[in-house]
């Protein structure tokens, strides 16, 4: 019985990583963001997001608990795009693990995508 659980955990973890990679690839070409912006009612460009759009983005991304910190600190899209790694790790009073994931897998890619889209 225990062996089965171990194998399941390995399969589950292995499947998460490719999804993150695919997700980031889709964001690079813009297709995922355009689709999500229509589905979630958010403007395609994060610079145009209101505080509620930012909060909903992180709720949808699986950070239900941490999303309220963006609300409390009144982080809108423009603020989100200006955030540094240190801002996310210390300024939002989040636990370190989720804060690192939020910055690396969400804030940083959104900033990169915004810069790419606006430098064309």
Q: What is the largest CA-CA distance in the chain?
A: 55
Across 7-20, average pLDDT: 44
Contacts of 67-73 spanning 24+ positions with Cβ under 8 A = 69/93, 69/94
Boundaries of every domain in the chain: 46-118
Does 50 score more than 70 pLDDT? yes
pTM score: 0.67
Mean pLDDT for the chain overall = 79
Architecture of the 46-118 domain: Orthogonal Bundle (1.10)
Confidence of residue 8 (pLDDT cuts 50, 70, 90): very low
């Amino acid at each position: 019985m225990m062996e089965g659980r171990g194998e399941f955990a390995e399969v589950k973890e292995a499947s998460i990583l490719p999804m993150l990679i695919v997700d980031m690839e889709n964001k690079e070409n813009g297709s995922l963001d355009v689709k999500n912006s229509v589905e979630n009612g958010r403007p395609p460009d994060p610079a145009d997001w209101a505080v509620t759009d930012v909060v909903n983005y992180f709720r949808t991304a699986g950070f239900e608990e941490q999303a309220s910190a963006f609300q409390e600190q009144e982080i809108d899209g423009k603020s989100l795009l200006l955030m540094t790694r240190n801002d996310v790790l210390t300024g939002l009073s989040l636990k370190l693990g989720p804060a690192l994931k939020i910055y690396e897998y969400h804030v940083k890619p959104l900033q990169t995508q915004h810069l790419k889209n606006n430098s064309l």
